[in-house]
Amino acid sequence: MEARYLRLESAATDIVINTHPFAEIIYWGPHLHHFTAEDAQSLIRPVANGRLDVDSPVTLMAECGHGLFGSPGLEGHRNGEDGSPIFTTVEVAQEGQTLTLISEDRLAGLRLTSELRLDACGVLQIRHGLTNLAASDWQVNRLAVTLPIAEYARDVMAFHGRWIREFQPHRVTLEHDSFVIENRRGRTSHEHFPALMTGSRNFSESQGSVWGVHLGWSGNHRLRAEVKTDGRRYIQAEALYLPGEMAISAGETLWTPWLYASHSTQGLNGMSQQFHRFLRANVIHFVQDKPRPVHLNTWEGIYFNHQPAYIMKMAEEAAALGVERFIIDDGWFKGRNDDFAALGDWYLDEKKYPDGLRPVIEHVKGLGMEFGIWVEPEMVSPNSDLYRAHPEWVLALDDYPQLLGRHQLVLNITLPEAFDYLLERLSWLLGEHDIDYVKWDMNRELVQPGHGRRAIADAQTRAFYRLLDTLHSRFPHIEFESCSAGGGRIDYEVLSRCHRFWASDSNDALERNVIQRGMSYFFPPEVMGAHIGNRYCHATYRQHSIEFRGLTALFGHLGLELDPVSADAREREGYRHYATLYKQWRQVIHSGTQWRIDMPDSTTLAQGIVSQDQRQALYIVSQLAMPDYSLMAPLRVLGLDAQARYRITLLDHPNIRITDEGGHTMRQLPAWMTTPQIVSGEWLMQAGLSLPVLDPESAILIGFERV
Ligand code: GLA
């Protein structure tokens, strides 16, 4: 008999699969040092009374035909028939840590190909391909990946959000039925980030077993954590299909998006560190192996008011502050004076730029900076030449009224004519100008995405990938930023095609602390766009010190989003200071191991990054509101070398005051802040470091250097 129990292994995590007669994951947990196929027999289940007289496996496809009764992995039919397939394994191939399983249901005329890859980092990638073996179409309503998880994974964590408030974590304890995330917005969305984390009760940053999954897909999706009535649990994830939009014809295969899954016994930190390592090794491909340059983006500095002479002055100021990449945002193309018009007309606005864009680009380059530009290709304004010429290019169901979003409509880029038009215009822009960087925006949701009378949301997402892929092959030297009204299109599939995310349209440092921490669960700092905005935040009208704004932007890919010409001297000095600090530490920040620290006071956020060789660490403690306790808890400085000793340096301590100098919260600073100290790594990790009492909306930056 063929080996029935197969194992994928990595240093951290193993997966064991019972392959016959039906494929079923029977174990996903810590690496096993002593596994044999015989061991797996210990999990053969009894049959309970009062239910079916046979065992019901939770198979890879989670078919109802096994007596699952929960959410199945596949729903669909062939003209009303063949709607309850059961797949039997016909072929198994394991090569290293990659497993391909083929199973079929001859009665229903369907084949299932399942691919599982376990990376050395412990991240599992899994997807299914469904092939239609019969002559007539098989209508796909749902096609999901199902991953069983341990019975003690009772807590569930996910993110909610909205525009200017992405990645807000929330939790539930799930004892029965399901927790479901459903996204019908046509993009990854601010509201329903496609990820779920489940784990042992009260799992935290550093404690507990955690299973985290992320679906790499930039369209509609559904994720589910389910508890069966027999107590078994599973996670399910899928692209969500609108009614009628997905069918596979004879011989055709439909693939699910990749599901990325990471398990850790070290809490959320372990999960995130595995995801970060995996992305760095497999998904993130920078054009050149060079430090992430300091940005200046013009948006919140000048909006639509483009005057080349002034922009050149901004570039000069920017270069003097240490900026390395200068990006012209919205407002450069024909008739784009506000957000009521011109999307689709990707021609230079010659009224604003009578001498063309080249003099500006040359000026920027002459100052030693890279040049970037903003586009929003998938959109069209009703008030545009493009719309007037091609109203039929709009993504819409025939004869329904069209809802506007930010005064704009969506182009149906599955239409070859529309696709080719965009390709031609973007190729003109990127081919005729010396452009290094593109910020690709997508500012509205899809409502009734369709063509004729048929829904085509899925095809629209695939066409977006195709357009970006084509541009990559034409212009391999250009880096792309994925923006969608801030963080509306952040996921691993788009990350394989871009180099940075615009995390949020909110540059409010207080909000950013929470947004960026939320984003850090699944993304490393080097792809997280984090800008110092104006003193008065344009999203919230809150006001923050340059120190709080600067330190908050430090733990990502730092930039400025403001007008450096009109900023006052103290502000400018701050921009220069944080750009310099960022340059000093970016190598560590963008390659090190990230640790989020559990603090007893929810008003305090602490995190750090430790270099791979554990020589250096950078920790930040941010105080969001008035502390609950009159003393801060010590900071556990995780990730250090226990054998080594570290010099502690206060790198930045904005506005810390003791009573002598005003009515502040401390009489005396912690001793290490006034007397140099060298402390063992073990002690710093186990016992910790005393923290000063911080004012609300301030932060402190601490460096650790191995001696
Ligand atoms: C969106 C983006 C912003 C900016 C504007 C320009 O809102 O998220 O960063 O580019 O569009 O219109």
Q: Which amino acid is at 560?
A: L
DSSP 581: H
Atom of ligand 1 nearest to the CA of 329: 10
State the closest ligand 1 atom to the C-alpha of 439, by its place in the atom list counted from 1.
10
- For residue 485, the ligand 1 atom closest to its alpha carbon is 8
Atom of ligand 1 nearest to the CA of 484: 8
Q: What are the structural domains of the chain?
A: 5-282 (2.70.98.60), 295-591 (3.20.20.70), 595-706 (2.60.40.1180)
What gap in Å lies between CA 545 and CA 536, rounded to an integer?
A: 9
Spell out the residues 6+ positions from residue 121 whose beta carbon is closer than 8 angstroms to its own. 10, 12, 262, 274, 277, 278, 281
Residues with beta carbon inside 6 Å of ligand 1? 299, 329-330, 374, 441, 443, 483, 485-486, 502, 505
Distances (CA, A) of 496 to 217, 296, 376, 468, 637: 11, 24, 19, 11, 33
Q: How far is the CA of 343 from the centre of ligand 1 (A)?
A: 13
Residue with CA nearest ligand 1 atom 2: 485
Predicted local distance difference test score (pLDDT) of residue 3? 67
Show the CA angle centred on residue 349, arms to residues 500 and 330, nearest 5°: 25
- Which residue from 187, 295, 298, 329 has its CB within 8 A of the most atoms of ligand 1, so it is best to mutate? 329
Alpha-carbon span 554 to 450, nearest angstrom: 42
Report the separation in Å between the CA atom of 172 and the middle of ligand 1, taken as the mean of its atom positions. Answer: 33
Q: What are phi and psi of 568, to 5 degrees?
A: -80, 170
CA of 591 to the centre of ligand 1 (A): 28
Pick from 163, 190, 374 the residue to mutate for probing ligand 1's pocket: most ligand atoms within 8 Å of its CB: 374
DSSP string, 30-91: EPPSS--HHHHGGGPPP--TTS-SS-----TT--GGGT--S--SEEEEBTTBS-S---EEEE
pLDDT at 2 over 60: no
* Residue in 162, 190, 296, 299 to alter for ligand 1 test, most ligand atoms within 8 A of Cβ: 299
Helix H or strand E segment including 619: strand 616-623
604 CA distance to ligand 1 middle (Å): 30
pLDDT tens digits, 148-205: 999 999 999 999 999 999 999 999 999 999 999 999 999 999 999 999 999 999 999 9
Amino acid at position 359, single letter: P
**For atom 12 of ligand 1, which residue has the closest CA?**
330
Q: Ligand 1 center to residue 466 CA distance, Å? A: 23
Q: Atom 4, ligand 1: which residue's CA is nearest?
A: 299
pLDDT at 139: 98
Q: Cα angle vertex 450, ends 449, 451, to 5°?
A: 155
* Positions marked active-site: 441, 505
- The C-alpha atoms of residue 118 and residue 262 are separated, in whole angstroms, by 10
Q: What is the mean pLDDT of the chain?
A: 97
Confidence tier at 1 by pLDDT (50, 70, 90): very low
* Per-residue pLDDT at 325: 98
DSSP calls for 177-228: EEEEEEE-SSSS-SS--SEEEEESTT--SSSS-EEEEEE--SS-EEEEEEE-
pLDDT in tens, 214-271: 999 999 999 999 999 999 999 999 999 999 999 999 999 999 999 999 999 999 999 9
If you measure from the C-alpha of residue 304 to the centroid of ligand 1, how many angstroms do you get, rounded to a whole number? 11
Which residue's CA lies nearest to atom 11 of ligand 1?
485
Ligand 1 midpoint to CA 441 (Å): 7
Indicate the pTM of the whole model.
0.98
Q: Tens digit of pLDDT for each residue in 442-461? A: 999 999 999 999 999 999 99
Residue 656 above 80 pLDDT? Answer: no
Distance 485 CA to ligand 1 centre (A): 6
Q: Cα angle vertex 239, ends 490, 252, to 5°? A: 125
Q: Which atom of ligand 1 is nearest to the CA of 339?
A: 12
The minimum-distance atom of ligand 1 relative to the CA of 561 is 9
Which tens digit of pLDDT belongs to each residue from 313-368?
Answer: 999 999 999 999 999 999 999 999 999 999 999 999 999 999 999 999 999 999 99
For residue 483, the ligand 1 atom closest to its alpha carbon is 8
pLDDT at 655: 72
- 155 Ramachandran zone, left/alpha/beta (phi>0; psi -120 to 50): beta
Give the pLDDT confidence score for residue 665 in this predicted structure.
79
Task: Name the residue of 297, 330, 480, 482 whose CB sits within 8 Å of the most ligand 1 atoms, as the mutation to test its pocket.
Answer: 330
* Strand 88-95, strand 155-162: pairing: unpaired
Instruction: Compute CA 143 distance to the chain's CA centroid, rounded to the nearest angstrom.
Output: 23
Our CA angle for 327, 332, 336, nearest 5°, is: 135
Query: Residue of the nearest CA to atom 7 in ligand 1?
Result: 485
Question: How many Å from the N-terminal Cα to the C-terminal Cα in the chain?
Answer: 59
Closest CA to 375 of 419, 402, 336: 336
Find tokens 């390659």 and name the residue.
591
Quick check: helix, strand or coil at residue 520?
Answer: helix
- Closest-CA residue, ligand 1 atom 1, reads 485
